[in-house]
Structure 1
């Protein structure tokens, strides 16, 4: 009854009020209501924007990216503001009731609330505008090296403690900008340098520490790349000076930084690399490790620290830790201590020998000791210790592989596969895929025996070998297999060599050749492997009759022969040749290759050549063809590739992209259909219209195929390393792609997919879902038109 009376009184009051007042109240109510409705709508829009930003942050965090600080602050502000706005709306609902249970609102309260609502609306708009202005929400971080986290491999021996303390003290001195660690191979220089890096990081002596492990034959470009990796620098410049400028600029941004260059073999111009020192950057310091004090002195390094061998007590402690508990039994202990002594306090040798004899029986320990005592050489204890690990390899085939890796400086599975096939080391193997599995098995066994190491890039397709191990292996190969390895100094003095030594050689490797002339003829009737690697500044010419008396050669490798315009005619006499590598050479007339009917692998990788000769079509036994040349390959004659019916692996990359439909002046993609054994393919196709129906078949084990203008797209994927053996497909188009050729069906095993500029992405995506994409590991989409594609579908 009371409510009815109140309602009636209010209605009468409104009717009795003056017209203008009623109009004012009505207009005020409408403006007030509209303001709050706008506020609630903007709050919802801000919630939507916040959700999108959160999704992007979650995606970035899954890829180990670091979120930009201003984005994190914006998100915190938005969370707080939305909560505050929701509370404000709630308070307004309470205040809006006013007197008579909300039927007569308090105008003064409404004016205050309306003013506050407008203020919040302005803040809402500013927050949304801030989100729209974000250039990016995250940035890639430099992953911390695993060896910096763990001290595995380092033993805090007393003989190392004083050296470590001395290095750390020197690094703290403002007068020191370059210092060095030197000692013989295998003594522990790298391990000590890594411990210095850990101490420097943990004690915050430097803002940044970069560790670059170099190869035995590094060049400026390699050193720049290794240093840049530790800083997250990506080079876009091709010239060494341009890269040096970029690296220099990046290093100048660090207030304090320590750069460790491990395994320096020769004097290095740090300025040419891009490393600032001295007055240029007082906060930048360089630590070098090397075998030679002369190298350090020549570079002005001071102070330099000599690393000595472990004393007998330390050596035994390390040996016993690895060899196992059996050596503490009385009958083992004496023999084990004698074996440990043969390691001469070298940590690397101790680890290898102790690992090889772990859990072995007593007579094996005694035999190992006898072998070590009988071995003679320049460093008999070093050589005998490593030969001991070599002798414990159970398979003769594995021993040959170990020596081959050492004296040829092979560092990858692909190289080992090539040399192994050429020398006939794959018994019972029918194809390249089986051979590649065998190579991986060999590498794993050698790593387990501590005779091979993981590569610095941690890629399963690459590996490395310690310097001491390599030196001993080369000595064994020279003694047992008549392997002759010569550097430039000895190449210049052929007359000093014994003719019988050359005649009996099974392998000859000429490395770093600077001379311009070789003997007219080499009489090597037993030679199976011949390799020449010229210095990049050499003008080496290959005599026309050089190969006349080496008819048993199965592997021929010519690298950096920059003036090899016409191949020697005597090359055609090598009727047993299986592997021919003409890498990083200047080539013109190579038609003599057509006489080499037995060749199974031909590589022109990195060479300059414009036209492939038609004679290559005569190599019907060819299993692998690598045409990833340095310069653009302008002509692949038609009907040449189709003749190579035994071809299993074809690598062209972006060296050639002038595929024709009819194949009148150049090869057509249709020719690839005539290669029934093909399992690996790498090529670029600029014009999608040259794609024939049924080109890409399911039996391809690995491929890297690019349709479009761009070849290097891996930056899109935001992943550091992709496996070399993956199935990668890149499609860059500006028009709709036709699916009638069944392209998607034939690529259903794809692992890496990059798409750009597709006008019909929705259709492409639907087709991919139909055939199934369970093996897809990386997907990158850029500039694609996809109407009506919901996020939930992806």
Structure 2
């Protein structure tokens, strides 16, 4: 019995050993076949990788010259990774060749096979990662949201005139630079937006433009900001720290590639040097054109326009239609219509005033309110100059009609921000809360919702509008001018703002920082130093210094002058630290330091 058991055990052992031996022999044959196959695959993938590397290298060098791709950094990182891999691969191949006669050894073959397998995995990853997509092709025209002027005869006539000028196909190409001018709020931007959108959908041009580029200029010319807008449209990479001259060279080369371009420069206040901007002179690129909008004919002439199209105010019928559309059905009521027509007439055919006044009177059915509106429009103290008489008074009445706790103060606070600046809604509400302009009796969430409701009221009154980015708002430049005028003409102890935003300042004058200042804005300038002396600004509750990239230091004595400060914004500067006097600002509720990449420490 024991002999049978032992024989059974030995039989099982021999059987298992035989299976393993046969398996090893089979595995060895398989590895030998796989080894040769994998070597061939490695060489095949290497050739594929080298082709991709060569293409990526050429593309990277081309984009270095032209600055035409925001993905170039990714390509360069991939090129470096490939180069490092090829070094490892060459080292492996050298070792294989050196040990060619020893590869019959099972252990050595296994070790090399494992390394080969890892190399194959890595090379497959690199080949997959090296298939970079082509840069997106620009559409010739991008749609720009805005109200239509189809039902406005005056504006439609101007639009048709512009289309006719653009379709000029004479050999002499006489209309290369086109000026669109008219008073603030008359609808120049709206007209040119309609032109842009008509070019997108209209196929009647004899020679379509290969690309149409829109850029907003604004009152205080910031050349780099305009360059960035053009670069974004052209998919050209322009960095903020890059010089204006270098950026201009990139843009110039890119636009020279276009068969026929149209550049639209909106809201121009002074002559712009096209060479400095990076836009080829249209005289040197046949068929290309430039359109600029401005409040001033003199600016058009300075830009050497070949033709000027004046945007006129609306006639009586058009003005009434626009006013009625914004005021709503209330204007059709028999007892309201005469007063509504009188109020519309007081807006003098100015689209911005008509829209603003119409929105302010929407749904108001009491005759007394309409009479009051009419009398206020007629009796307001006029500003200097005809434009202010026709624009500021109607807009100011919309401000006067704002109801609710501190809504007026919230509106005026917005004029501290730079012209055409898109304000983050969350940041604006935070500032209002810190200033105590929003009721804080409720919890934080409800207080924030209250602030957002105020923004919607101001937007519904056409005193704020959507910004350029989601979650932002901004002021129309004329509305902002009115807000600044209201502040400047108010009693000194009521507001006393000092607004010096976006005007190219390199320093702040000590004379401007008086003890009567309530709120001060020096944002979006080029300030590099702040006053370092004894001052008294004990009433100031807001100080905006964001967007001053050259600013590196905040002196100790500077903050000591602002003991009542509730809002301090130094975002987007090069400051490395803040002085200990920051801790003495006992009223401070909002300290904003976004994009302060060089900031290393705060006082403890």
Q: CA deviation at 1:401?
A: 0.8
Q: Which of the numbers 149, 154, 179 marks the counterpart of 2:149?
A: 154
Cα deviation per residue 1:535-582 (whole Å; 9 max; x = unaligned)? 52x67651502x32x223222334539577461526325432222334
- d(CA) in 2 for partners of 1:627, 1:478: 30
Three-state SS of the structure 1 residue aligned to 2:212 is strand
Q: Which of the numbers 503, 509, 516 marks the counterpart of 1:518?
A: 509
Q: CA deviation at 1:194?
A: 1.5
Cα deviation per residue 1:115-141 (whole Å; 9 max; x = unaligned)? xxxxxxxxxxxxxxxx99995677645
Q: CA deviation at 1:347?
A: 1.0
| Aligned position for 2:36 | none
Quick check: 1:466 aligned with 2:453?
no
Which structure 1 segments of 5+ residues have no match?
1-130, 483-502, 604-625, 644-794
Quick check: 1:530 aligned with 2:520?
yes
| Aligned position for 1:200 | 199
| Aligned position for 1:552 | 539
Superposed CA RMSD in Å reads: 3.5
Three-state SS of the structure 2 residue aligned to 1:179 is strand
Q: CA deviation at 1:357?
A: 1.7
Alignment of 1:17-416 (within 5 A): 135=131, 140=136, 142=138, 147=143, 152-173=147-168, 174-201=173-200, 202=202, 203-204=204-205, 205-235=208-238, 238-239=241-242, 240-363=244-367, 364-378=369-383, 379-409=388-418, 411-416=423-428
Q: CA deviation at 1:183?
A: 1.0
Q: CA deviation at 1:192?
A: 1.1
Q: CA deviation at 1:337?
A: 1.0
Three-state SS of the structure 1 residue aligned to 2:357 is helix
Report how many aligned residue pairs link the two structures: 458
The structure where strand makes up a greater share of residues is: 1
- d(CA) in 1 for partners of 2:583, 2:310: 56
Three-state SS of the structure 2 residue aligned to 1:230 is helix
Alignment of 1:564-579 (within 5 A): 565=553, 567-569=555-557, 571-572=559-560, 574-579=562-567
- d(CA) in 2 for partners of 1:598, 1:317: 50
- d(CA) in 2 for partners of 1:132, 1:543: 58
C-alpha contact (below 8 Å) 1:407/1:470 kept by paired residues: no
C-alpha contact (below 8 Å) 1:514/1:540 kept by paired residues: no
Q: Bigger relative contact order, structure 1 or 2, given CA contacts below 8 A and separation 6+?
A: 2
- d(CA) in 2 for partners of 1:438, 1:504: 24
Q: TM-score, normalised by structure 2?
A: 0.67
Change (3 A) 1:397 1:336: same
C-alpha contact (below 8 Å) 1:544/1:568 kept by paired residues: no
Q: CA deviation at 1:428?
A: 1.7
- d(CA) in 2 for partners of 1:317, 1:351: 10
Q: CA deviation at 1:185?
A: 0.8
| Structure 1: 4+ residue segments shifted above 6 A | 131-134, 143-146
C-alpha contact (below 8 Å) 2:210/2:260 kept by paired residues: yes
- d(CA) in 2 for partners of 1:281, 1:144: 17
Three-state SS of the structure 1 residue aligned to 2:500 is strand
Which structure 2 segments of 5+ residues have no match?
1-126
- d(CA) in 2 for partners of 1:469, 1:304: 26
Three-state SS of the structure 2 residue aligned to 1:396 is coil
Change (3 A) 1:342 1:249: same
C-alpha contact (below 8 Å) 1:262/1:289 kept by paired residues: yes
Q: CA deviation at 1:589?
A: 7.2
Q: Structure 1 residues 202-211 or 258-267, which shifts more?
A: 202-211
| Aligned position for 1:691 | none
Change (3 A) 1:520 1:268: closer
- d(CA) in 2 for partners of 1:159, 1:627: 46
| Aligned position for 1:477 | 487
The structure where helix makes up a greater share of residues is: 2
C-alpha contact (below 8 Å) 2:395/2:482 kept by paired residues: yes
Q: TM-score, normalised by structure 1?
A: 0.52
Quick check: 1:453 aligned with 2:465?
yes
Three-state SS of the structure 1 residue aligned to 2:335 is helix
Cα deviation per residue 1:562-620 (whole Å; 9 max; x = unaligned)? 577461526325432222334536667723323334433334xxxxxxxxxxxxxxxxx
Change (3 A) 1:220 1:161: same
